[in-house]
Amino acid sequence: MRIDLTLLERRLDELYAIGAEPDGGAYRPLYGEAWAVACDRVEHWMREAELTVHRDAVGNVWGRLEGSGGGKPVVTGSHIDTVRRGGRLDGALGIVAGLGAVQALEAAYGAPQRPLEVLVVCEEEGSRFNTNFWGSRAIVGAIQSGEADRWRDPAGVTLAQAMRERGLDPSQIPAAARSDLDAFVELHIEQGSVLESAEVALGVVTTIAGGVHLQVTVSGRADHAGTTPMDLRLDALVGAAAMVEAIAHCAAVEGRPAVATVGKLRVEPDQINVVPGRVVFTVDLRHAALEACRNLTQGIRGICETLATERGLGLEIATLHERPPVPMHADIRTAIEAAASEDDVTTMALVSGAGHDAQILASRCRVGMLFVPSNDGRSHCPEEATDRSDLELGTRVLARTLHQLAY
């Protein structure tokens, strides 16, 4: 079985050029022009590979290689959309490597026993509409009635309008659901530096971490910055700063894989000569174990409440989003590890701190993920890169995993 690395890299370059931004990176927002061109390009590659292609009701693209024995299909793939100034590999690698793996398998072994499908997920990032996993949620039937009319992009366009612009009918969204999938295997870059630091070329994901998004509002009193003595102030920003530091400390004490990030902060009235009277900030916290995630959330809530009380500040904490950890299926993990052993490749079990479509599809089929290293841990930026040898290795192990599951 031969992996055509030259073809793989050429396809990656072609996708990266679609939606290229002037200041670097690429942006392919859901149902945008670049998104449509990219979907057409992958469909063309699928048809060249003589796969049977169809698009479902939300625009996911499916390429199918029929199996001689029938049964439920084994699926591989990833998402086609990107964040702003996104990198060359996030999502794209899983699509291109998945197609390349299926082509290599057919060339070496002929038709599989079970059908093999390559999936182009229409959206995962939530970078145009605030709705992550739109494509995979449609596949598992998790999109709510009327949801497409509720979400708007920054320009005020509803998701339903954007669908219609691409010839898709929002009323048909339920038709995208599938209940016939056996397994989904996704190759992805790690998007972190754990593999590189450990000098390991392949990661086998054990769990996709659960996460909680909090919004913390700290209320003090806006006063004149020149006339209000320091000991008489109710400075909301000073209190919030103490909370931010304490939140990072909570996660550090918990240790890996616990993480906590304050990613957004808004100060009011946001004037150079006024003591801040109100601060709103967000917390993104994640852990692979459900109970540990809950404990970390409670610990962060508790320390914020203590700090607010000590400083005489008001405090409100709202939960914006909560998702449980999702373990990868033991059978798929075993298949990936066995495939890697054929190359005498050392693998590393690790938790995915980032979310992926596999966590959504896990409600419908067996799922598994394998990671290749990200150079310097960089991702979601133009500097995102992985060594050619790692790209080839990941694709080869993916192909051997699919071989075990489908042949």
What's the CA gap between 118 and 289, in Å, rounded? 31
* pLDDT of 168 above 90: yes
Q: Give me 40's structure tokens.
A: 């057409």
User: What is the total residue count of the chain?
Assistant: 407
Cis omega (within 30 of 0) for bond into 29? no
pLDDT tier, 343 (very low <50, low <70, confident <90, very high otherwise): confident
Q: Give me 57's structure tokens.
A: 């009701």
Reported as a single tens digit per residue, the pLDDT across 95-115 is 999 999 999 999 999 999 999
Please, what are the domains in the chain?
A: 5-208+325-406 (3.40.630.10), 210-323 (3.30.70.360)
pLDDT tier, 130 (very low <50, low <70, confident <90, very high otherwise): confident
Q: What is the DSSP string of 25-44?
A: SB---TTSHHHHHHHHHHHH
Residue type, 353: G
What's the CA gap between 356 and 370, in Å, rounded? 12
Write down the H helix ranges in 313-387: 330-341, 357-361
* pLDDT of 208 above 90: yes
- The predicted model gives 58-81 an average pLDDT of 97
CA nearest neighbour of 283 among 310, 249, 309: 249
Residue type, 256: R
Which residues are CB-neighbours of 174 under 8 A, at least 6 positions away? 57, 141, 143
Hey, which bits of 263-313 come out as E strands?
265-268, 278-287
Residue type, 371: F
Residue 171 DSSP symbol? G
The pTM for the full model equals 0.91
Residue 22 DSSP symbol? T
Q: What is the pLDDT of residue 209?
A: 96
Q: What is the pLDDT of residue 132?
A: 87
- The predicted model gives 224-240 an average pLDDT of 98
Residue 111 DSSP symbol? S
Give the number of other Cβ atoms within 10 Å of residue 328's Cβ: 25
Residue type, 46: M
Check the CA dihedral 134-39-90-369 and report its sign.
positive
| Pairing between β-strand 265-268 and β-strand 278-287 as defined by DSSP bridges | antiparallel
